[in-house]
Structure 1
Amino acid sequence: MNERDDGVPDRDRHGGVPDHDVPSAWRQTAQRHYDPEEGTEFVTEIVAAIAAAREVGLHEVKSPPLYECIDAPALERTFFESPAHRFQYEDGAVEFRYAEFLVRVQNDGWITVFAAGEDAS
């Protein structure tokens, strides 16, 4: 892992999760970036990341309903309600299970989907 002059770890080559934070029993399968200023819905970005991981269309991600796995509106308010919220938590992240995936949402907007490897439980 590289560090910038200010001592803050760089993100990995994909712009998201630092290499040292990747769960060893999981492999990254999809990643999207949410920017509240772009006008896309937060929930849509999460579902789009899951759809990409499943290699299906956005509207094919139906089960389980996302709201059964995470309170996405509460997470959006916590991390993205205002520009000050985005940086309130240094390296803030929330992970949750969605069906066969582990989904990580970071306060910098990166949504990363991991698929279970042989060692995952």
Structure 2
Amino acid sequence: MLDALAPQDVGQGCVVADGLCLAIEALYGTDAMLGDVARHRAERTPQHGGVFVKRAKLGQDLRADLPAIGPDTIAAAQAAGLTAIALQAGRVVVLDRPAVLAAAEAAQIAIWAAP
């Protein structure tokens, strides 16, 4: 899904649950996307669980726009009812890593990275 959207300059992130796409990160960014999922979660099935995927777009110039997550991302993922975050190893910056890991553990949100 993110590969298909990369040429349109969208697609650093998405939220999926039970094989359904609940949201795609676009112009307004990660916070807006996760906020939308949180606001509308009661209207969607499943109402809990899912994965936030964050990665660089295909061909993205990382000198100008480096994908990142931080402690606020964990709080937003928790508010959205998510249970995991998947990062593209080596291409997503984790800001304040100790705080991110502590917040994720407290929220019971798994974080993993894959190429």
TM-score category (smaller protein): under 0.3
TM-score by length of 2: 0.24
TM-score (norm 1): 0.23
**Structure of larger gyration radius:** 1
Higher relative contact order (CA 8 A, sep 6+): 1
Which structure dedicates a bigger proportion of its chain to helix?
2
